[in-house]
Amino acid sequence: MKVKLQTSDDISFEDFRTQILKDYRTAVTSRECSLLGRREVLTGKAKFGIFGDGKELPQLAMARSFQNGDFRSGYYRDQTFMMALDLFKPKDFFHGLYATTDMEKEPMSAGRQMGGHFVTHSLNEDGSWRNLTKQKNSSADISPTAAQMPRLLGLAQASKIYRHVEGLDSANFSNKGNEVAWGTIGNASTSEGLFFETINAAGVLQVPMVISIWDDDYGISVPAEHHTTKENISEILKGFQRSEEKAGYEILKVKGWDYTALIHTFENASDIAREEHVPVLIHVIELTQPQGHSTSGSHERYKSEERLEWEKENDCNKRFREWILEKGIATEEELKTLELTIKREVRTAKKEAWAEFLAPHKETKKTLIGLLENVANTSPNKVFINKIKNDLIAIEEPIKRDLASLSRKALRYLLGENTAEKVALSHWISTFLDKTQPLYSSHLYSELVTKATNVQAIAPVYDHNTENVDGRIILRDNFDKLFGNYPEALVFGEDSGAIGDVNQGLEGLQKKYGKLRVADTGIREATIVGQGIGLALRGLRPIAEIQYLDYLLYAIQTLSDDLATLLYRTVGKQKAPLIIRTRGHRLEGIWHSGSPMSGLIHLLRGIYILVPRDMTRAAGFYNTLLKSDEPALVIESLNGYRLKEPLPSNLGELCTPIGVVETIKEGTDITLLSYGSTLRIVTQVAKELKEVGIDAEVIDAQSLLPFDINQDVLKSVKKTNRLLVIDEDTPGGCSAYLIQEIVEKQGAYKYLDSAPQTLTAKAHRPAYATDGDYFSKPNAEDIFEKVYEIMHEANPMDYPALR
């Protein structure tokens, strides 16, 4: 397809000159930051550096076409782009390298991420949305290669939703869907599956996405011949090129040192994506990487002399400079003067950032030295404490670790002493740790009053003539209420649309709410989750459906590295309240059977993990989540859709509390904790145990992350003095986690008369069919005998050996 090149409106030469020299200033500033940044790592002031040198010119062109409301989902070499938009300054760059824990000074992550990871702030201090249409936006970067791609898909799809779905309040989020999502990726990372999955999905969905591939012919030390067929990503993607008959991509190719061609190419891409909602791929070739991949190695080790010479001659900044001189835009003397000015500015920014980083530590050091002097003078261990004090004095550039470590070591020499000086030091240490630890540990979950765990429970209400229905009906009718109440809510997944999901929990809803709000997707779990993240970042309330629990493994990297860490790595400046809906537990076979639980509860810290035992509880969780703004995984019981449940009359309103257990049956002899489908077996066994004189208390965990915030299991153990956790996960998995929560965190060990125990599935995946389930996962007889064994050990007279 022929594409007309779109160019900027004509401007005066002086305005043109000003614009060009501003771009040159930005390019040189960015390069100086990269060069000085590497030195700071090699001197030990910074721990690691990965920079954008060699990619400056195409990023300037991208910035020219980037508009308010647009979103970036890029990777760790885009510093020039952020500088060009005035979203990132040299001093910010160095504060990022030094890991300054002050969001005002290090606005990208307050020191939580290494340099080169960029973010803009989407939220006000109270957690409410800023007007994203009035600012240029960058979604929070992550390091794993190509991991920025799934989220990019959702950021782009949001524009399509806002353009075509009626009734949305788009004031803060979209101007009629005219926003473009801009992605960047290195050429070697296009080998990752996440890249190809996203490329395919965006072509199917036809969303306004521009993906730029910065191609410097290498991936760390490995040349393109080992990464890409034909050593040319745009060549092998030609099949995605759109035609008059078939939708697809517009694919453009441009040299990374050709300033005017870059400007025209990015303007052209922006117009196509913005107006036509067509994805565009820009392959930017002939780029260089002057300092190699990162500070962990030198590119001289793996590039030939010929390649190194070529890179020197074709460095985009050098070629830009030559073009400026050739066109008479500036003289050699003017450029030299500008370059010297920039060098001084960047060096000044570096010095100021380092001084600002050290200043609070030095003040704290003075205070601590005084406390150590005081305590030494009153202690028989004065010699040892003075050595610690002198060690601290010798540290000219202290960091928080030095202050914490040395002060805590001093306490060891004060054992048994009870002086005012020791009390003062101990108080200082506690205060310092209480103040400092949140700088590294806050915002794993929401800390606002609107957080999901603050949503109050609303019990299901039943009429006197309540009907018993299949569990799926409760879900379906509850989703119907939600989609009516929340215009911004939408659901998508494999088979979610036309047939209303594989268990008909969405039956008929696509016909009622349309194909964009209740949508089918391809078989591509990672980008289903990515869609959800991107849509949620732009103010929508997506429910991403993963058909079965074990299919989450396809998306685990996106869930773990991106969604679970988003609030944490932005220190509460971005949020993505995505709900992931799936189903699992007790299917009679190796697959779809609940086996990944032990991985999920550890890999997904930062996401609520909810395990309702029936569809009424599941419906209540969805209602709770939509009243709040946090991500969650809801695992419905796969064998519960056809089980009968009484139909509540307050669907859409009932709320299952998050982090709260429910006591299903009270008892006095032993506490039995379980969740999901296995809980039904436990409940039945509790009745059988009653026949042999064992009165078990049965508790439904309901929430795994978080678990039992009211410590109700502890209250139960105080009464029964015994604990058994029953779980269909593998040994050492979820049940071990629950034991730690109860025995260690809640302190239940103080009230136990018998050892706390777990009953789990076997270490292998469950075998097929009914017998496979019986001999692979805890069955009724296993549970009965384990409880009886515990009671026999405690009281063999009343409970003689069973076998």
> Residues with catalytic annotation?
592
Mark residue 709 as left, alpha or beta (left: phi above 0; alpha: psi -120 to 50; beta: remaining): alpha
Which ranges in 165-283 belong to alpha helices (H)?
Answer: 193-205, 233-236, 259-276
The DSSP call for residue 123 is B
Tell me the C-alpha distance between 55 and 81, whole Å.
9
Alpha carbons 327 and 626: distance in angstroms, whole number:
58
DSSP-derived secondary structure for 305-324: HHHHHHHHHH-HHHHHHHHH
Under the phi-then-psi rule, with left for phi > 0, alpha for psi from -120 to 50, and beta for the rest, what region is 652? left
Contact status, residue 451 vs residue 575, Cβ threshold 8 Å: no
Q: Could you say which DSSP state residue 666 is in?
A: -
Q: E strands within 177-307? A: 181-186, 209-214, 218-219, 222-223, 250-255, 280-285
250 to each of 56, 149, 699, how far by Cα in Å?
Answer: 24, 18, 57
Please measure the distance between the N-terminal and C-terminal CA atoms of the chain and give it in whole angstroms. 79
Going by C-alpha positions, the residue among 490, 491, 540, 481 that lies closest to residue 169 is 540
- The answer for residues whose C-beta is within 8 angstroms of residue 275's C-beta and 6 or more apart is none
Peptide bond into 706 cis (omega under 30): yes
Distance CA 783, CA 485 (A): 43
Q: Tokens for 81? A: 């782009």
Contact 143, 117 (CB under 8 A): yes
Kindly provide the b/e burial profile for residues 69-106, where b requires at least 16 CB atoms within 10 angstroms of the residue's own CB: bbbbbbbbbbbbbbbbbebbbbbbbbbbbbbbbebebb
Report which of 477, 506, 494, 504 is spatially closest to residue 551, judged by C-alpha positions. 494
Q: Which two tokens stand for residue 127?
A: 């957690």
Number of helices followed by number of strands (H, E) in the chain: 27, 22
What's the number of CA atoms in the CB half-sphere (13 Å) around residue 527? 25
Q: Are 207 and 236 in contact (CB under 8 A)?
A: no
Give which of 87, 80, 74 is closest to 122, Cα–Cα: 87
Q: How many CB atoms lie within 10 A of CB 239?
A: 9
Point out which residues pair with 223 in neighbouring strands: 218
For residue 488, give every residue at least 6 positions away whose Cβ sits within 8 Å of its Cβ, in sequence order, or none. Answer: 168, 169, 539, 540, 541
Sign of CA dihedral 497, 498, 503, 505: positive
Amino acid 220 reads: I
Q: Tokens representing 99?
A: 């890991």
Give the whole-angstrom CA distance, residue 202 versus residue 200.
6
250-255, strands of its sheet edge to edge: 137-138, 71-73, 181-186, 209-214, 280-285, 250-255
Q: How far apart are CA 126 and CA 129, in angstroms?
A: 9
Residue 630 CB-half CA count within 13 A: 33
Chain position carrying tokens 């296995």: 678
